[in-house]
Amino acid sequence: MQEFSFTLLNQYKKARLGIVNTLHGQIRTPAFMPVGTRGTVKAMLPQFVKNTGADIILGNTYHLMLQPGAETIAKLGGLHKFMNWHGPILTDSGGFQVMSLSNLRKISENGVTFRSHIDGSKHFLGPENSTEIQYLLGSTITMAFDECTPYPASHEVAKSSMELTSRWASRSRNSFVKRPGFGQFGIIQGSIYKDLRIESIKTLTELDFEGYAIGGLAVGEGQELMLQVLDYSASMLPENKPRYLMGVGKPSDIIGSVQQGIDMFDCVIPTRSGRNGQAFTKYGTVNIRNSKYKEDNQPLDPECKCEACMHYSKAYLHHLVKSKEILGSMLMTWHNLSYFQDLMERIRNYIAEGKDFDFLC
C-alpha cells in the first residue's frame, strides 16, 4: 500500500519541484488546491476540476461538521465517495473559521465553544474532535487544530497564541490515526515575529508530522512582510516533507512564495473572482462586466485551452454574468481554475529546467 511521502525531484535556488505520494494519488508540487469548502468546488463538477489539472482539493471541517455532519458522510462512504472526487483531499481543521466568528465563540485551553452561523446552535471544536471529524471524512491530509493569530498582534499576544497552537498540535498529533497513505500537517504560527516562528518550528518538527503548513500569513500584513517571514521559516522546515502556505492565492504571492521554498497553496480567489465576473489571464485581470466586452467576439485568452476560452466569446460571457446566469459562474470559474493550474504547471516546468519564473503572472 502507498505510504505517504514527499519526493524532491529538482530544486532551483529555493524553489522545489516534487511529488507528494498518497493513498489517493500523487500531488505534483508546487500545487494549487481549489477550495471545496462544503464538499463542492463552487459552480464546478469534480471531473471539470480534474480536467483543469488539479491533483488535490480542499474541504473544511467546520462547515462539513455542521452540515451534513461528519457521521453522515462517514455512513455514506466518506467524503471522496460522497462528492465523487477520487483524488487527494486536504481538510482544514476548522480553526480559522471558528476564530473568525468573533463574538460567537469562546476560546479555552480545551478548544473553542461556538455558535453555528447557520442556526445558532452550540458546538465545540478542539484538537481531539477536529482530528476525529477529519478521520470520519476520510481526509487524505488532516490539519492539526490551531489558533490563527490575528494581524496586527503584539509580541505578547502572538506568543500566547503560538504556544496554544503548539499545545493543540501535540494533542492533534496524539489523536491522529496513522495509516498508510494518509498524513497530518502541523501548522506553524508566530505572526511576523522571527523568534516566535523559530520556536514554533522547533516545537512542531519534534512532533514529526507528515508535512508542515505556515499559517497566520496573508491576513493583512502585506506581501513584503509575508515573504520576509517565508525567507527564513520555509528553509527551516524538513526538506523531505511538503510545505503548505495556507490561504494564499494571488498569482504574484504564489510565485514569490514558491521562490522561498513553498510547495502547496489554497485560496478561494479563483472561484470567488469567477463568480463575481473577474478573470485572470497572462495579460492581467479582466472584469467581464465592463461594457467594452458587450460586442467583443474574442475569447478571454486565445492561448487558454479551457472550456470557456475554446468555445465562448467575451461578449457571451459578458451577457451571462450581467444576466446572472449560472453558466456564467461556471465558465468564469472554469477559466480561472485553468489559469491557476496552468500557472503551476509553468512554474513546475521552469523549476525542472532551472530557470527563473518571476515574470509568469
Closest to 91 measured CA to CA, from 44, 129, 36, 20 = 36
CA 210 to mean position of chain CA atoms: 17
Residue 358: per-residue pLDDT = 84
- List the beta strands (DSSP E) in the chain: 5-12, 15-22, 25-29, 31-34, 57-60, 89-92, 105-107, 112-115, 122-125, 141-143, 183-188, 211-214, 243-245, 264-267, 278-281, 284-287
Residue 342: per-residue pLDDT = 97
Residue 104: per-residue pLDDT = 72
3-state secondary structure of 186: strand
3-state secondary structure of 30: coil
Sequence-ordered list of residues with C-beta below 8 angstroms from that of 338, at least 6 positions apart, any chain? 52, 53, 304, 305, 306, 309
Out of 55, 146, 253, 266, which one is annotated catalytic?
266
Neighbours of 157 (CB within 10 A): 13
Give backbone dihedrals phi and psi of 26, rounded to 5 degrees, phi first.
Answer: -90, 150
Residue 361: per-residue pLDDT = 64
CA–CA dist 90, 15 (Å, integer): 22
Sequence-ordered list of residues with C-beta below 8 angstroms from that of 213, at least 6 positions apart, any chain? 143, 185, 186, 187, 188, 243, 244, 245, 246
Residue type (1 letter), 77: G
Closest to 58 measured CA to CA, from 85, 22, 95, 97 = 85
Out of 92, 253, 263, 301, which one is annotated catalytic?
92
Neighbours of 84 (CB within 10 A): 11
From residue 161, give the alpha-carbon distance in Å to each of 109, 144, 194: 11, 15, 15
Are 293 and 285 contacting, i.e. CB atoms less than 8 angstroms apart?
A: no
Specify burial of residue 241 (Cβ count, 10 A radius: 0-12, 13-18, 19+). buried
Does residue 146 have an active-site annotation? Answer: no
3-state secondary structure of 238: coil
- For residue 104, what is its C-alpha cell? 460567537
What residue has cell string 479582466?
A: 286
The torsion defined by the Cα of 212, 213, 216 and 220, in degrees rounded to 10, comes to 140
Does residue 119 have an active-site annotation? Answer: no
Residue 73: per-residue pLDDT = 98
| Per-residue model confidence as pLDDT tens for the chain (361 residues) | 789 999 999 999 999 999 999 999 999 999 999 999 999 999 999 999 999 999 999 999 999 999 999 999 999 999 999 999 999 999 999 877 777 766 678 889 999 998 888 898 999 999 999 999 999 999 999 999 999 888 999 999 999 999 999 999 999 999 999 999 999 999 999 999 999 999 999 999 999 999 999 999 999 999 999 999 999 999 999 999 999 999 998 999 999 999 999 999 999 999 999 999 999 999 899 999 999 999 999 999 999 999 999 999 999 999 999 999 999 999 999 999 999 999 999 999 999 999 999 887 6
Sequence-ordered list of residues with C-beta below 8 angstroms from that of 291, at least 6 positions apart, any chain? none
Neighbours of 172 (CB within 10 A): 29
Closest to 282 measured CA to CA, from 194, 346, 195, 202 = 346
Give backbone dihedrals phi and psi of 92, rounded to 5 degrees, phi first.
Answer: -65, 150
Are 260 and 231 contacting, i.e. CB atoms less than 8 angstroms apart?
A: yes
Identify the CATH homologous superfamily for domain 10-267. Queuine tRNA-ribosyltransferase-like (3.20.20.105)
Q: In three state form, how does the secondary structure of 281-314 look?
A: ECCEEEECCCHHHCCCCCCCCCCCCCHHHHHCCH
> Domain spans of the chain?
10-267, 274-332
Model pTM above 0.95: yes
CA–CA dist 41, 20 (Å, integer): 22
